[in-house]
Structure 1
Amino acid sequence: MSSASHTKMADLDHGLFWRVRHPSSWSLRVRLLAAQTVVLALACSAIGAGVLLALDRFLIDQLDDQVVEAGWRSSMLYSLGPPPVMPDEHRPSGPGPFFLNAPGQASGTLGAVYHNGRLLDAAVITDSGSLREVTPTAREELAGMITAGPESQVIDGLGRYRLITTPGLGGEAIMTGLPTRPVDDTLFAVVGMLTVIGVVTLTAAIAAGVLILRRQLAPLSAVATTAQRIADSELDRGEVTLPKAPNAGTAGSRYTEVGRLSAAFDRMLHRIGEAMSARHASETRVRQFVADASHELRTPLAAIRGYTELVQRQHDPSPDRLAHAMSRIDSEAKRMSRLVEDLLLLARLDAGRPLEHEPVDLSALAIDAVSDAHAAGPGHQWDLELPEEPVVVTGDVGRLHQVLANLLSNARVHTPAGTTITTVLAQGSDAVTIKVVDDGPGIPAEQQAEIFGRFVRGDSSRSRRGGSTGLGLAIVSAVVSAHGGSIAVDSVPSATTFTVTLPLRSDLSPQQQKVESACN
């Protein structure tokens, strides 16, 4: 294998090691669990060390009390001297000071006698009760260990001892010592017990930590999973279906950081979903609007082109034919102009263009609109109901006149001659109501839901003959909304009512105010 291949494999191994072993590659759950484990292990170690230190100090203090008692007992026995007659069981059975054979001396007791700083004799009581002389190395060590208070010393062949020196009556110094082995054994047993308890406690804490972290971080994991699914989704085109927002958990979890994050993500996801739906709906409306506008403009353009070609094919057209062709061209051109103006008005309203903001006398406006409608449709019966006092709102006088004109024109075009059309104006405490009521055939129920849409016609052929563009009611709805009002329709055979509600307060819609403020 080449050196380049070896280098590549080494880099791969190093990268894998970094991802697997380095803490920066761990998940948040693993990091928290590791931190919890380390902190708990340090806490257990600190507690164990404290317990051991306290126990060691306690046991050493107890041992020192025993050493002091044994030292004074040995000094007293040595000062009294050996008894002339001793029972057989207490006769000296080996080397060393005779007081080591006195009753009450514990096994392991070390005894030494000094005179003028020189070690005379030293021995230790074995576990069997006999005396054993210390090693030469131990004698050398004991020769320089004369101390007043209990002190720890390590003695060759015996281990660690607590030693004390007491004076004798003849000027001698009596050293007595007890081994620290019982203390060490006790501490070792406690260390083992604490280790077992610590391991069990740490294992239980890790298991509990895994369960707690899994439960507490479950909303966060759901948020991460949902966010990843959203990131992998195609959000740039078409209708977007966002994944379902994760459950924020129990009611109390909303106060935690994870709960608040999950709830905020839930709200954000809801807002994004609404924005995506609105965007898709807007794109759909724009595409449909362009398609409908193209279709509507194609009809008058085709008529204009047809009459133009007809005149061009005739080398010497008669004045009557030429006048008829020019009349039709003019009529279709005007129709196309009206369509373009209506489209432009709707585009301006959709863009939030500001309307006029001035007092408008709706009573006078209704009188003018009904008079114009009567002149355009003398075959209908036109009625008007007005309150005694003039009704004044704030808005755009031209657009509000267009609202009334379009409603009256819609009633005239879609009802037969002889139909009674009544315009009713009423003022409430905080709103003004305009109703246009007719006793015509009514609007089919399946058409009422979309009647305020664009290029919607109840009777296509009749509407075209009447010059309708299919945008009249759409303009009415857009203008009323721009004024902060609403429009509704209620239709049954012999009773169709369009109700427009406008606020009395002197402001337009929030969108209109924002645009107007920016323009000013």
Structure 2
Amino acid sequence: MSSNRRADPRERIRFRSPHTWSLQTRLLAVLVGLLILVCAGIGAGTLLAMNRVLHQQLDHQVADAVTRSMVFYDFGPPPFARYAGPGPMFLDAPGQSVGTVGAVIIDGALTEAAVVTSDGTRSQLTPSAFGQLKGIGEDDTVRIELDGLGAYQLGAVNAHDGNIVVAGLPLSGVHNIQVTILVFFSAMAAVALALAAAVGMVIIRRQLAPLSKVVDAAHDVAQLDLVRGEVHLPTPVVPVDPDAAHTEVGQLAAAFNRMLDRIADALAVRHASETRVRQFVADASHELRTPLASIRGYIELVRRQLSVIPDDLAYAVDRVDLESKRMSQLVEDMLLLARVDAGRALDREDVDLCQLAVDAVSDAHVAAPDHRWSVNVPDEPVVIGGDRLRLHQILANLLANARVHTPPGTRVDISLLCPDRDTVLLTVTDDGPGIPEHQQSEIFERFARGDSSRSRRAGSTGLGLAIVSALVKAHRGTVDVRSAPGETTFVVTLPVSPHPTGGCDAQPLRAAPTRF
């Protein structure tokens, strides 16, 4: 169905503006434009020169016709065959061509006038043409539009008896030749322009081929993951011919290669720094596990003797125990992220996400009974290949994020859908206050929090969603967030296991929600 919507004038101007064309198109347009100007100049010069030559020839032909007509008029009775018809007798003289006009003016009165037709006979002129010829004087040479005949060049001469003999030839021959030359030249110019445009396009493409390579190389580099990890940039990205290094295109390619070299060096330095930091975090986390375990052991030993220690000391022991547990969890999270960053392979087994979702919601309900929990999963198992423990951690962290950052009474829904046979969508939605827009792009970063304070409300470390992002990527999936006041949705997309027991139906699976 077509649309009759009128295009925006600004869009039409932008579409037609030459500065929006590609460089190849602009160069080709300039080339064709210059060729058109050159062809137009040559054609105009040729036509002007040809017009001058043809009119000079016509002047000589008219002069010959006038002289010939006057000679035969002075001979008296014609020494040649006389054909029937009006007009002076000298029109039948040898050498008079078709279209020749002849007339005799006696004492200012036009007595006879005719034109030679294509069959050799003579044809009477119209009364209007008679009036036009009547005004020609002695030794005049004029160009006039004769009625019924067209443009003519006429000449007049005094005969021996004092009468005026008029003869002339049509300008149609000159015009026909000019039109023929114009058509021929236009056709040749069109062919020449087409060939020049084709050859010019090939030449321009060859000359700009290095630019196309630079563009392709830039696109290839743009597709690389430059955010984190080790990045290998091909160098040189664009080969530069030493003989053409001084040209503009060669200088651009060389500058592009130098820029990528600098970027590659900077990325290598960054990766080395990140590697050292990750190694330090992994080593520190690993080393901290032992003293933290010892601290918790001693705390447990002290707590067995709470009856014999003062209340204030017992309170301090409880606080130390709580902080040691939180610190142990922080160390475990940091160690997990360090392992994922190092690319350590996860366990692979068939995991039923339906069962994991139900278990995760049950645990969340126990941890936060004041929230309203709901789970919507298919009746049939949805099986994917992955690490069961880490997949459960993804669900648990998303639900814990909803529990920690929403007030009591908030509704939290978790659903599982299969939009196609190769993808599973896991969504966690709550009707809480939402995430500020300026923070949504940072919530998957490490140690990011929803508020600007440094408080750790409810034991939050700022690593929960970072762990979710890392584990989802380790399972070759993606995680996104959409948030507005009154609705926040986390969407996890995971690939379906290729195992025959795994997968989803072609249609989205639906089931009645289970509420807690």
What's the counterpart of residue 142 of structure 1? 133
Equivalent in the alignment of 2:470 = none
Which residue of 103, 113, 121 corresponds with 1:130?
121
Q: Is the 8 A contact 2:91 2:102 kept in 1?
A: yes
**1:154 aligned to 145, 157, 160, which one?**
145
Query: 2:200 matched to which residue of 1?
Result: 209
Answer yes or no: is the 8 Å Cα contact 2:151–2:171 preserved in 1. yes
> Is the counterpart of residue 57 in structure 1 residue 33 in structure 2?
no
- Cα 1:151–1:228 change in 2 (3 A) is farther
**What 5-or-longer segments of structure 1 have no aligned partner?**
304-520
SS class of match (2:245): helix
User: Conserved in 1, the CA contact under 8 Å of 2:240 and 2:254?
Assistant: no
- Report how far residue 58 of structure 1 moved: 0.8
Q: What do the CA deviations read for 1:407-452 (whole angstroms, capped 9, x no partner)? A: xxxxxxxxxxxxxxxxxxxxxxxxxxxxxxxxxxxxxxxxxxxxxx
Work out which of the residue numbers 202, 219, 233 in structure 1 matches 2:210. Answer: 219
User: 2: CA distance between counterparts of 1:53 and 1:194?
Assistant: 13
**How far is the alpha carbon of 1:15 from its aligned partner?**
7.4
Q: Which amino acid aligns with 1:265?
A: F
**Residue range with higher mean Cα deviation, 196-205 or 41-50:** 41-50
In the TM superposition, what are the counterparts of 1:7-406 in structure 2 within 5 Å? 10=5, 21-78=16-73, 80-83=74-77, 86-87=78-79, 89-146=80-137, 148=139, 150-242=141-233, 245-248=236-239, 250-288=241-279
CA contact (8 A) 1:82 1:99 kept: no
Contact kept, 8 Å, 1:18 with 1:25, in 2: the verdict is: no
- In the alignment, the residues of structure 1 paired with residue 135 and residue 264 of structure 2 have an alpha-carbon distance, to the nearest angstrom, of 90
Q: TM-score, normalised by structure 1?
A: 0.50
1:134-155, Cα deviation, whole Å (9 max, x unpaired): 1112112222344745432221
Instruction: Describe the shift of the 1:120–1:256 C-alpha distance in structure 2 as closer, same or farther (beyond 3 A).
Output: farther
| Contact kept in structure 2, 1:90 and 1:103, CA below 8 Å | no
Q: Could you say what secondary structure the match of 2:5 adopts? A: helix
TM-aligned CA deviation for residue 233 of structure 1: 4.0
Greater helix proportion: 1
Aligned-pair identity (%): 47
3-state DSSP of counterpart to 2:271 = helix
Give SS of 1:10's match. coil
Matched residue of 2:144: which SS? strand
Q: Alpha-carbon deviation of 1:228?
A: 3.5
Match of 1:155, as an amino acid?
L
Alpha-carbon distance in structure 2 between the residues aligned to 1:161 and 1:248:
71
Rg larger in structure = 1
Match of 2:409 in 1: none
Q: Quick check: 2:139–2:158 contact (8 Å CA) kept in 1?
A: no
Distance in structure 2 (CA, Å) of the matches to 1:119 and 1:35:
61
Q: What letter matches 2:208 in structure 1?
A: L
Q: Once the two structures are superposed, what CA deviation does each residue of 1:382-408 show, in whole Å capped at 9, x if it has no partner?
A: xxxxxxxxxxxxxxxxxxxxxxxxxxx
Contact 1:123/1:132 (<8 A) preserved: yes
Q: Structure 2 matches for 1:441-520, cutoff 5 A?
A: none
The amino acid that maps onto 2:217 is: T
Residues paired across the two proteins, number: 302
TM-score normalized with structure 2 length: 0.51
Q: Could you say if the C-alpha distance between residues 217 and 133 of structure 1 is closer, same or farther in structure 2, counting changes exceeding 3 Å? A: same
Partner SS state of residue 168, structure 2: strand
Q: CA RMSD in A?
A: 3.9
Matched-pair contact (CA < 8 Å) for 2:132–2:146:
yes
User: Per-residue CA shift, 1:107-148, capped at 9, x if unaligned?
Assistant: 221112223443232111122222222111211222234474
* Aligned position for 2:373: none
Task: Specify every segment of 5 or more residues in structure 2 that has no aligned partner in the other structure, as ranges.
Answer: 295-516
Q: Retained in 1: the 8 A contact 2:237–2:257?
A: yes
Which stretch shifts more, 224-233 or 165-174? 224-233
- Deviation string 1:281-337 (CA, Å, 9 cap, x unpaired) is 23323444566688899999999xxxxxxxxxxxxxxxxxxxxxxxxxxxxxxxxxx
Shift in Å, 1:65: 0.9
Distance 1:248 1:156, change over 3 A: farther
Q: After alignment, is 201-210 or 35-44 more displaced?
A: 35-44
Cα distance in 1 between the residues matched to 2:213 and 2:290: 56
CA contact (8 A) 1:71 1:166 kept: yes
CA contact (8 A) 1:114 1:120 kept: yes
- One-letter amino acid matched to 1:106: S
Q: CA deviation at 1:187?
A: 1.9
CA gap of 1:197–1:235, structure 2 versus 1, over 3 A, is same
* Matched-pair contact (CA < 8 Å) for 2:136–2:156: no
CA contact (8 A) 1:146 1:175 kept: no
**1:169 CA displacement:** 2.6
Contact preservation (8 Å) 2:231, 2:267: yes
The residue type paired with residue 169 of structure 1 is H
Q: Alpha carbons of 1:147 and 1:272: their partners in 2 closer, same or farther (altered >3 Å)?
A: farther
Deviations 1:238-271 (A, max 9, x none): 2233366543454443333222212221221222
Q: In the alignment, residue 73 of structure 1 is paired with which amino acid?
A: R
Cα offset, 1:218, TM superposition: 1.6
**Which residue matches 1:320?**
none
Q: Aligned pair in 2 of structure 1 residues 198, 133: CA closer, same or farther (>3 Å)?
A: same
Cα shift readout 1:166-198 (whole Å, capped 9, x = no counterpart): 222333222211112222222222222212211
Q: Distance in 2 between matches of 1:207 and 1:219?
A: 20
State the one-letter code of the partner of 1:59: L
